[in-house]
């Protein structure tokens, strides 16, 4: 007879743009996870979010600070959605308090800082999950399964495109698109999802040759456009292009050309074109946040990540996206940046 698991009490830290998505994801678990409390950086952000909670029938408590949150013995986990430069103090405190952490991407602003946070949690033997929600799309999961089973044959070539759009008002928010707060621009803030998903299916990159630029469409410190040629460790070659300057914004895509078929994962749809003439489609068209509204996507993918994290806490299931695994995409982004700045090919060191 299976024992019914009790609900997990979660605290949400960081009440900005993605907070409502987390709230809806929590509510989608039908009581398996409960939003017990929230912590925001200001009274204004807290009150705005509490108003949304009230509209959606949620009644979390508002912590006055980190000490009050840590004193709440009823908490089972925390969801960390602060900007990446505000992570280390929280993660260190949660590791000491034995609180598992589910964290919005990126882990931190650069690879070295990200590795430090991962190691803090590993040394405390606490789960650190990363919200790479694109892994939870039905079409993406289907393609991951095919690649894991080598059903498409050997991978020969990869084409990745992230033709997104952001208005200048998006970058007018203090710190957004800066190295000090975000760690960069389109690569680490937007394309990181698609690059992570690519690596999950292709394996690691061996060498990178890249360029980056800030187009005339935006006033910002970091890049709003990047492109790179890639050589993968398995022998495949590929190219990526990522931008937030492609008005009006379109869906991201990953195309894998293999010996038996070519697979095009276009946002939430997968098209398989087999060499024997068969054509298969998986998934349906849906919003991905590639246009002017960054939040124009379903909360269901966040819910999938959250439910997996609950499984990890309650039944020792494997993480869909762990902090350790996230270091791979951080390393790739750093390699692209190094190549673009130096004008040289960069040989990658693989994260383990």
| Beta strand ranges found along 106-248 (DSSP E) | 128-131, 155-163, 205-213, 225-232, 237-243
Position 204 scores a pLDDT of: 97
Position 2 scores a pLDDT of: 43
**What pLDDT, in 10s, does the model give residues 17-74?**
999 999 999 999 999 999 999 999 999 999 999 999 999 999 999 999 999 999 999 9
Average pLDDT over residues 268-279: 97
pLDDT band at 3 (very low <50, low <70, confident <90, very high): very low
**What pLDDT, in 10s, does the model give residues 330-348?**
999 999 999 999 999 999 9
pLDDT of residue 287 exceeding 80: no
- Name the 3-class secondary structure at 247: coil
Burial letters 173-207, b for 16+ CB under 10 A, else e = eeebbbbebbbbbbbbbbbbbbbbbbbbbbbbbbb
**What pLDDT, in 10s, does the model give residues 84-130?**
999 999 999 999 999 999 999 999 999 999 999 999 999 999 999 99
Position 316 scores a pLDDT of: 86
pLDDT of residue 298 exceeding 80: yes
Report how far residue 282's alpha carbon sits from residue 279's, in angstroms, rounded to the nearest whole number: 10
pLDDT band at 5 (very low <50, low <70, confident <90, very high): confident
Average pLDDT over residues 152-162: 98
pLDDT band at 295 (very low <50, low <70, confident <90, very high): low
In the chain, % of residues over pLDDT 70: 97
pLDDT band at 296 (very low <50, low <70, confident <90, very high): low
Helix (H) or strand (E) run with residue 73 in it: none
Q: Which residue has the higher pLDDT, 273 or 284?
A: 273
**What pLDDT, in 10s, does the model give residues 199-241?**
999 999 999 999 999 999 999 999 999 999 999 999 999 999 9
Report how far residue 23's alpha carbon sits from residue 58's, in angstroms, rounded to the nearest whole number: 8
Burial of 159 (0-12, 13-18, 19+ CB in 10 A): middle
Report how far residue 286's alpha carbon sits from residue 162's, in angstroms, rounded to the nearest whole number: 15
Mean pLDDT of the chain, nearest integer: 95
Report how far residue 330's alpha carbon sits from residue 345's, in angstroms, rounded to the nearest whole number: 18
Weakest mean pLDDT among 31-35, 179-183, 291-295, 316-320 = 291-295
């Amino acid at each position: 007879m299976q024992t019914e698991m009790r609900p997990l009490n979660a605290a949400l830290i960081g009440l900005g743009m993605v907070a409502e998505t987390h709230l809806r994801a929590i509510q989608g678990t039908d009581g398996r996870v409960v939003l017990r409390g929230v912590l925001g950086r200001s009274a204004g952000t807290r009150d705005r979010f509490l108003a949304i909670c009230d509209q959606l029938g949620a009644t979390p408590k508002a912590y006055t600070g980190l000490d009050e949150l840590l004193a709440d013995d009823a908490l089972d986990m925390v969801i960390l959605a602060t900007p990446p430069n505000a992570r280390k103090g929280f993660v260190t405190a949660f590791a000491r308090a034995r609180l598992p952490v589910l964290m919005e991407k990126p882990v931190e602003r650069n690879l070295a800082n990200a590795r430090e946070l991962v190691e803090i949690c590993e040394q405390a033997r606490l789960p650190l999950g990363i919200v790479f929600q694109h892994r939870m799309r039905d079409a993406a999961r289907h393609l991951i399964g095919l690649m894991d089973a080598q059903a498409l044959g050997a991978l020969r070539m990869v084409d990745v495109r992230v033709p997104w759009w952001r208005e200048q008002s998006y970058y007018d928010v203090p710190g957004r698109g800066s190295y000090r707060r975000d760690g960069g621009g389109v690569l680490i803030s937007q394309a990181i999802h698609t690059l992570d998903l690519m690596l999950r299916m292709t394996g690691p990159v061996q060498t990178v040759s890249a360029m980056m630029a800030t187009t005339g469409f935006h006033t910002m410190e970091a890049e709003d456009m990047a492109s790179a040629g890639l050589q993968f460790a398995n022998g495949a070659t590929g190219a990526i292009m990522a931008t937030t300057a492609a008005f009006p914004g379109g869906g991201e895509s990953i195309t894998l050309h293999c010996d038996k078929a070519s697979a095009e994962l276009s946002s939430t749809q997968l098209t398989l074109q087999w060499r024997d003439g068969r054509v298969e489609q998986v998934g349906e068209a849906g919003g991905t946040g590639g246009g002017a509204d960054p939040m124009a996507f379903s909360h269901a993918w966040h819910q999938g990540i959250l439910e997996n994290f609950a499984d990890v806490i309650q039944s020792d299931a494997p993480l869909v996206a762990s902090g350790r695994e996230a270091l791979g995409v951080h390393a790739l982004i750093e390699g692209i940046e190094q190549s673009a700045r130096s004008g040289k090919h960069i040989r990658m060191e693989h994260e383990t």
